[in-house]
Chain A
């Protein structure tokens, strides 16, 4: 079974530029998550999708970050414009359900973003 795919693996941009990350979850997984992992910290949830609807985006900085999950499969996360403090690894994860019962989240390898 293929795992969660993410691209690109690395991205370097200058501040105020825009960037987009792509995620392809495990086939059949209804729930998709985007996390931000700043160096030396644990992952922090940015947004959670159930199929193509947003379940939780309370920690997403909506003035510059946006995410979509068209057709309930692939997802893109965009930053526009980027700031220095956005330098981090962006992790995508998927699980088979987002109900009250915990279903194991499977993580992709992440995209390492450096903002200069």
Chain B
């Protein structure tokens, strides 16, 4: 079945540091890929998405590129802020028989001032 593997957390960075959170996936067919973010006390929010190979999703300074050859969708940000502290989830969606979002286990990010 479909699955998503995320780098283990938690991740602690200083403000303005470079961020990478690794995500790899296994899926039948051609999935769409997503990063969701969950701020403390809030629901999941879509951060960015990519629907086909080589697409780059971007939002709020975050980027991720859909790499079909390595089945990866790593999240990056050049300079993190304290307000980026949250849990980040990688997810995929396939339009086959499953037709549901499959999430990774999440990565807790803490940014220190």
Interface positions of A (Cβ within 8 A of B): 3-4, 40-45, 48, 56, 91, 93, 98, 100-102, 104-110
Contacts and interface: CB of A to CB of B under 8 A. Distances in A.
Interface string B79-113: 00000000001010101000111011110000000
A98 B44 CA distance: 19
Contacts of B100: 45, 48, 56
17 contacts: A4-B43, A41-B105, A42-B91, A42-B104, A42-B106, A43-B101, A43-B103, A44-B103, A45-B101, A56-B99, A91-B43, A93-B44, A100-B95, A100-B99, A102-B95, A109-B41, A109-B43
B29 to A, nearest CB: 11
B21 interface: no
B21 to A, nearest CB: 13
Of all A-B residue pairs in the complex, the 7 with the closest CB atoms, nearest first, are A42-B103, A107-B43, A100-B95, A107-B44, A102-B93, A109-B43, A45-B100
Contacts of A108: 43
A110 B43 CA distance: 6
B93 to A, nearest CB: 5
A109 B42 contact: yes
A3 B43 contact: yes
B46 interface: yes
Interface string B24-61: 00000000100000000111111000010000000000
A109 B39 CA distance: 10
B44 A91 contact: yes
A89 to B, nearest CB: 10
